[in-house]
Structure 1
Amino acid sequence: MLNNIEKKELQKTILVVDDTADNLSLILDLLKDKYKVKVANSGKKALSYFESSAAVDLILLDIMMPELSGYDVIKVLKKDEKTKDIPVIFLTAIRDMEDEQKGLEMGAADYITKPISASIMLARIKTQLENKEAKDFLRDKNLYLEDEVNKRTKEISVIQDVTILTLASLAETRDSDTGNHIRRTQHYMVILAKALQNHPRFRDYLSDGMIETLYRSAPLHDIGKVGIADKILLKPGMFTHEEFDMIKKHTTLGKGAIEHAEKELGMEVDFLKIAKEIAYSHHENYDGSGYPLGLVGDNIPISARLMAVADVYDALISKRIYKEAITHEEAVKIIEQGKGIKFDSDVVAVFLEHQNDFLNISQKYADDEFAIKQKQEQIDKIL
């Protein structure tokens, strides 16, 4: 009765390639009781064997053959994704170090010289099969681990996105904005960021990864509004100075809420860091007249400068409890007038170049009358 090792060996397939019938017969007799053995009497037949996707665990390959030599065959095998990892042991009557070195450099795993010693051949085949098995195990393990990491990364990403949208939706229920404001500003941010990606002032910052982070972080820009009293946040008329001072606190409240989330996590997360910048600084003006800190020029984070244009444009074209919507053309003029005053001049420049993209986004994700009516009914209940 066969033991487990012997059973395992019988499951292995070895392809023997030699143009001499006596050599094929000798090797077949040596291996047939331990392995599944396939034979080919030329390099061409050996290569055609793999056209049928036949599985092989090891190849014994004669070097000196007519038409295609062993060197020619291994060159083809190593270029093919299907066969490149199959270990090849060269069979040769040549006892030349340079030839042996050449074969090893081409990818051979080992050499067996003729006349063949049965014990040496069996030992070297066993070693190479064990090596291949170990490599296959590690490769499969690495692929499995890579797949698991990708799955977990995707799960974490989804959880983060759900968390962001949940928090943003919470802020939206307290505000006169509709949910589409969040979606529109996300897309506006991406339009601006991609347009500035190769700009000398922005290219070091606006990597593809950062643009993705900006897109994911943008919904939290007004998260601090959850801390503003309804009587102020939903007031239909003009704010008093005292009320506007309270409204301005939503930037500080937003930053504080995100910092609290960071503290609870016990680590810094890129999308929260950017969300904090946007929430805190998107009302800063380029000339220093904004809030909460009165930052000037490039002291304002790039993320906040992008959101400033995206948020103001959308606020202008949208109907709110305290104002009517204005046209796209009117909004463009207002933003253009704010160039270098309220907004970064280079950001305004790309906004003007891509204003039609902004218009398309505003139309694609427009607030329908039903959504506006629902929002108004919600506000009426609160008030």
Structure 2
Amino acid sequence: MIPTAIDRPTILVVDDTPVNLSLLNGFLGKDYRILLANHGTKALQLAQERHPDLILLDIMMPDLDGYEVCRRLKADEALQRIPVLFLTAKTETEDEEQGFAVGAVDFIHKPISLPIVAARVRSHLQLKAWQDFLLDQNAWLLREVEKRLSDINRFQDASILTMVSLAEFRDECTGNHIQRTQEYVRLLAQQLAHLPRYQHQLTSSYIELMAKSAALHDVGKIAIPDHILLKPGKLTDEEFVIMRTHAVRGYEMLARAGEHLGEHGEFLKLAKDIAHYHHEKWDGCGYPDGLQGHAIPLAARLMAVADVFDALLTRRPYKEPLPMPEVVAMIKRESGQHFDPEVIEAFVIILPQLEVVAQQC
């Protein structure tokens, strides 16, 4: 099938010799749309206006030589993928090295052999067509991945909302507590990210996942009986043992949900770590496993500070809120005992920001 004018690739031919322009126009014009330029400035103008599929470019020209034209083409993001074939009488190795260095894909030596021109043009247009196809496919795949990630994020948000809503239904104090502790975790992680130990782990995307996961830290309280969860006074020793099971129950709920939904990514891992270990203590005296120091996952160490800080500041059925100075003093005293000392250092630095969150939420 003979290609139509619309189907034909466009070739820009650049040469300061009229005979060469006429020869190539007549020979290539049967199969391609041809643009002609007799100097470098005109070639750049046509390239910017028409975006040809391939450029045949003379090297020795009076205003801008071919090397400089090619260099400028490759510096333009919109034009840099157009293949450039040099037409030249230069045959030295150094000349070809310079041409490839500025971005050319091939050389056609003068005097011009029309069959060689046809073969080289056809080969490089086919190669460009495949490259364009692969780029289009990659762009499509990228859009699909972004769409799937967006779907996953929406699903995560919906799952979190559902589980948090169940917790809020059981305990009216939970809602604002969740919002505040999420923001405390985010701010603490952002500050901790300045330390060399954590700067590679605590990327912005990881911190956002951590803050999102923090909403599920007390999801295990769904399994705690109302007479214990909502008791207005102090718990008995037996009731406190039951209350403490919420950490393991939360972990188990999230693990089962992940198995049913096929979710095993970083979000679920963080959520399980936080639910399971946010009552562990730096000195090993916490629960449920008595972990110590850096054996406690980082997300849980951050959540421990956020959770206690908010609990001390908040009115609960069994207690009145404490004033901010007293709360801060208590938190600082627990550095190296209940809390990771590095997290407490971060806590002290960002205290004004934490106070704003405490007042607003």
Q: Pick from 6, 11, 14: which aligns with 2:8?
A: 11
Contact 2:5 2:33 (C-alpha < 8 Å) held by counterparts: no
Indicate whether 1:318 and 2:314 are aligned. yes
Pairwise mapping of residues 127-146 of structure 1 onto structure 2 (< 5 A)? 127-146=123-142
One-letter identity of the residue aligned with 2:134: L
Indicate whether 1:346 and 2:346 are aligned. no
Report deviation, 1:186: 0.8
Report deviation, 1:321: 2.2
TM-score, normalization by structure 1:
0.87
Contact 1:9 1:35 (C-alpha < 8 Å) held by counterparts: no
Name the counterpart of 2:41: 44
**Which deviates more from structure 2 when the two are superposed, residues 267-276 or residues 227-236?**
267-276
Q: Pick from 66, 75, 79: which aligns with 1:79?
A: 75
Deviations 1:138-177 (A, max 9, x none): 1111111112112211221221122123212212221242
One-letter identity of the residue aligned with 1:85: R
CA distance in 1, matches of 2:82, 2:289: 65
CA distance in 2, matches of 1:196, 1:95: 61
What count of residue pairs does the alignment treat as equivalent?
361
Query: Which secondary structure does the structure 2 equivalent of 1:7 belong to?
Result: coil
Deviations 1:260-300 (A, max 9, x none): 12333456321222211211221123333322223333332
Q: 1:233 to 1:126 in 2, by over 3 A?
A: same
Q: Pick from 248, 260, 270: which aligns with 2:256?
A: 260
Query: Which secondary structure does the structure 1 equivalent of 2:50 belong to?
Result: coil
CA distance in 2, matches of 1:63, 1:299: 66
Contact 2:314 2:320 (C-alpha < 8 Å) held by counterparts: yes
Consecutive unaligned residues of structure 1, counting only runs of 5 or more, are 366-383
TM-score, normalization by structure 2:
0.92
Q: 1:203 to 1:89 in 2, by over 3 A?
A: closer
Name the counterpart of 2:241: 245
Consecutive unaligned residues of structure 2, counting only runs of 5 or more, are none
Query: Which secondary structure does the structure 2 equivalent of 1:11 belong to?
Result: coil
Pairwise mapping of residues 351-362 of structure 1 onto structure 2 (< 5 A)? 351-362=347-358
One-letter identity of the residue aligned with 1:319: R
Query: Which secondary structure does the structure 1 equivalent of 2:104 belong to?
Result: coil
Name the counterpart of 2:87: 91
Query: Which secondary structure does the structure 1 equivalent of 2:127 belong to?
Result: helix
One-letter identity of the residue aligned with 2:82: I
Report deviation, 1:99: 2.5
Contact 1:176 1:321 (C-alpha < 8 Å) held by counterparts: no
Deviations 1:231-281 (A, max 9, x none): 111111221111111111111111111221233345632122221121122
Contact 1:78 1:107 (C-alpha < 8 Å) held by counterparts: yes
Q: 1:320 to 1:122 in 2, by over 3 A?
A: same
Indicate whether 1:170 and 2:166 are aligned. yes
Report deviation, 1:105: 3.6
Q: 1:108 to 1:287 in 2, by over 3 A?
A: closer
Name the counterpart of 1:21: 18
CA distance in 1, matches of 2:74, 2:284: 64
Indicate whether 1:236 and 2:196 are aligned. no
Report deviation, 1:204: 5.8
Moved over 6 A (4+): none
Name the counterpart of 1:372: none
Q: Pick from 319, 333, 346: which aligns with 2:329?
A: 333
Contact 2:167 2:174 (C-alpha < 8 Å) held by counterparts: no
Q: RMSD in angstroms over aligned alpha carbons? A: 2.1
Q: 1:81 to 1:177 in 2, by over 3 A?
A: same
